[in-house]
Structure 1
């Protein structure tokens, strides 16, 4: 199989890259593990898309402040300067996303750590109103081929250049040679016991890029969302609900957020998430009190979701933090280029420098859109080159059906215990040792077997180890990386 541009991943970042590459005249193959749009993180995005309403400077200041001073100012400027054209071109003119309106204008929402109302949204289900039309639009383009239920196992790389990837579908493995390859594989939520991400968020793109020699940066900065409801099937309660006046209360019914930050419920996510976790530990429960607003009228989708899950929102929604977003990832430049020739990365798997140590609410879809368009255009124009590459081996007998799942459960226990909201140096050392052993096992099995679940396990091990190593090297608590005991020096 050959193509001009291979895009791996079908969220807003991957779709944007595919669109831009096709517009530039390239033949595009978009491969995705998903079998339906709701298996992508974009589909689950609730709050919306922050835009530089009233000018870019205020939004840029808020992004940098939320990042705990760690955002790259040039990357932030690229985001806010590119936002108006990208939103108007793709979301409004091309896809006609039906953002909520207030009379003749848009109904801009406000979320935590934003200094103004500037978030475009569709109720609290913005992502599905973006991704559904986006995929439909791409299916209608002559130059775009979408391969669903198709996993990328590994990159075809040689001498610092990427020539495509090995793709697996229904157990069959085929090389896809591409002039350029764009990773848009999303986040790492599946590595954690509790996450807002889909089950397929196993860090595939990050692991493949790292194995091929690309650099990963800021991997210690894993963001937890403070208000996630539900037990075995967690669901996000949008930050926009607090933006409209909802209050956090402890198990005694007392409001507590102002004790942790002057902005109370609208403080940066890392602050609120740790506050919720501590109050849950201290008082047994934290609820989101939505009585200050007309919850059903303002957020009908969320009210319906609560009812479907048996959550009685009128008496307060029980919430707890859950893994939500990776602020780091594969290091890229302003066009999504990695350190490997003809390999690009966009979306949550990429580290653009925008988020620093903590992400500002409703900037993830925007980042995926802006960087996806840039990367897609830059990726067009390369000719595919075939290389001799031995296919992955599949010589040994299949493993028991639950083998990979059991190993993955072990990985989640390690990650949940040592790489969560709060970390300590000794726990990080133990995590690195355990993850190295688990990765060694996964590597050994993948040498002679090509099942998708084994390759996902290996990707998860590689990515978790990158997080643990980055956390161990950083002795300073910043944003999402919070140490219970300050480390001295640098760990290996």
Structure 2
């Protein structure tokens, strides 16, 4: 069986939903293929902090993004984000979806809502719903699209590979119900999220296996800035971990070490509101030198339970008394690099677009400013979907039948490979890196990718392809990190760092 659609969107987070909405508004028939079977399978549903919007001083917003990026953000991309932020939020999140942002009734003017402040922001500009903004955005978005004519969802469906011919993408092969179906499209939009599966400790959902980045790399698209993997400084590190939103620090919570001392003022002038990479490394250093770090929420007024009831419930579920401070540690959080795109989400391949975390727009540079991920996914998703709708007609091509002749692999196979991948990434490609460790990691990951590739040649399964994609992304990160100078969340401590140079990264190593 084959399928045809004007626009194929792969992924159902905010970027994928925005692309589908924009394409449908242009009159295109849209098929959204997603691995998800429920909203919490997408990283958007996990987003806590909120959505940054442009206030009375757009240049301050631009300056904050550039400063958080360690001066590496693309000024043109930053201008696209800031210039389109208010209109996109008002149009989609407020007027279309009635997201119940705190401080005013749904549908109010954007300026009527409360605005919070988070790390590295010079002013309060973040719209939020308690500390669970993502779920209040994604769920109405999915509901709206499911009722919109011209938009069809294909759930529990994994895109395996892009269908290409002479530099043009014609759709993707999609695995669903045990069968691989060629899905042809006039244009294809990747919106598959991040690479959390590459790390043992992450704030991402389980399905964040880097599928879009890996597929694009195999197809020959340019992949850039993979060395910039952001770690969030405040994740609960115990059993059943969860993210403790940066908004809590924005409201006055402070970090204390095992001796009860507040340590961030000695690290950075902005203390707990320093850029994420700075705070994450400081927390890691304190934990390495003296044990546990806790987030002291006692300065909050109103109290923590009143200001952040959803987070308070998470603490209660795990037996944490916030009055004693919340134990925190860094965790892999966000990929700032990915599939290189222009200001319309177009990749280096004809009729292939990307948006959201899998895309490298240039906005984030070496380190993402808090509460810009949902905004970037929304802005670039809308622009990519609109452009994809005008890309051209469907042109089916001949596709080879996938080889699936060998017996399935036991769960222990993937478990062992993932353990090797995550141990390598956690130890050598984490918060702080050295050139020698990166070279060893690159060698290990090259071998791992080769082993997994050998099995995908004769077997087709979701778990195996997810492992392949995660291994590819791990190798891309290690390769990029070994070649790039230290900046932002790519922190290299070797003396020879000053001799390294920048470069684009591809799947072949």
CA distance in structure 2 between the aligned counterparts of 1:400 and 1:97, rounded to whole angstroms? 44
Matches within 5 A, 1:135-284: 135-284=142-291
Give the secondary structure class of the aligned counterpart of 2:467: helix
Q: Tell me whether 78-87 or 102-111 shows the greater mean CA deviation.
A: 102-111
The yes-or-no answer on 1:403 pairing with 2:413 is yes
Matched with 2:506 is none
Out of 346, 349, 359, the position equivalent to 1:340 is 349
The yes-or-no answer on 1:299 pairing with 2:308 is yes
The yes-or-no answer on 1:419 pairing with 2:421 is no
CA distance in structure 2 between the aligned counterparts of 1:420 and 1:306, rounded to whole angstroms? 27
Compute the TM-score of the two structures, normalised by the length of structure 2.
0.95
Out of 464, 485, 488, the position equivalent to 1:454 is 464
Matches within 5 A, 1:85-124: 85-101=87-103, 105-124=112-131
Out of 393, 411, 430, the position equivalent to 1:383 is 393
CA shift in 2, pair 1:81/1:330, >3 Å: same
Return structure 1 stretches of 4+ with deviation > 6 angstroms.
none
Give the secondary structure class of the aligned counterpart of 2:410: coil
CA distance in structure 2 between the aligned counterparts of 1:102 and 1:68, rounded to whole angstroms? 35
Give the secondary structure class of the aligned counterpart of 1:319: strand
CA distance in structure 2 between the aligned counterparts of 1:268 and 1:338, rounded to whole angstroms? 29
Contact 1:336–1:371 (Cα < 8 Å) also in 2: yes
Matched with 2:319 is 310
CA distance in structure 2 between the aligned counterparts of 1:284 and 1:399, rounded to whole angstroms? 40
Give the secondary structure class of the aligned counterpart of 1:338: coil
CA deviation string 1:151-172 (max 9, x = no partner) = 0111001111000001011211
CA deviation string 1:376-401 (max 9, x = no partner) = 00000321111011022101111223
CA distance in structure 1 between the aligned counterparts of 2:401 and 2:411, rounded to whole angstroms? 23
Matched with 1:370 is 379
CA distance in structure 2 between the aligned counterparts of 1:18 and 1:309, rounded to whole angstroms? 38
Contact 1:217–1:351 (Cα < 8 Å) also in 2: yes
Contact 1:477–1:486 (Cα < 8 Å) also in 2: no
Matches within 5 A, 1:48-127: 48-101=50-103, 105-127=112-134
CA distance in structure 2 between the aligned counterparts of 1:312 and 1:444, rounded to whole angstroms? 49
Contact 1:257–1:275 (Cα < 8 Å) also in 2: yes
Out of 418, 429, 441, the position equivalent to 2:451 is 441
The yes-or-no answer on 1:130 pairing with 2:137 is yes
Contact 1:327–1:351 (Cα < 8 Å) also in 2: yes
Q: Deviation at 1:142? A: 1.3
Matches within 5 A, 1:5-16: 5-16=7-18
CA distance in structure 2 between the aligned counterparts of 1:392 and 1:314, rounded to whole angstroms? 57
CA deviation string 1:349-405 (max 9, x = no partner) = 000000000000000000000000000000003211110110221011112232122
Q: Tell me whether 383-392 or 237-246 shows the greater mean CA deviation.
A: 383-392
What 5-or-longer segments of structure 1 have no aligned partner?
none
Contact 1:28–1:143 (Cα < 8 Å) also in 2: yes
CA deviation string 1:79-130 (max 9, x = no partner) = 0001111011000000000000069921110001001011000000000000
Q: Deviation at 1:407? A: 1.0
Give the secondary structure class of the aligned counterpart of 1:402: helix
What 5-or-longer segments of structure 2 have no aligned partner?
502-508
CA deviation string 1:309-332 (max 9, x = no partner) = 222211000000000000111000
Contact 1:230–1:309 (Cα < 8 Å) also in 2: no
Contact 1:48–1:126 (Cα < 8 Å) also in 2: yes
Q: Tell me whether 82-91 or 397-406 shows the greater mean CA deviation.
A: 397-406
CA distance in structure 2 between the aligned counterparts of 1:386 and 1:55, rounded to whole angstroms? 49
Q: Deviation at 1:484? A: 2.1
CA deviation string 1:228-249 (max 9, x = no partner) = 0142422110000000000100
Give the secondary structure class of the aligned counterpart of 2:234: strand
Contact 1:50–1:120 (Cα < 8 Å) also in 2: yes
Give the secondary structure class of the aligned counterpart of 1:296: helix
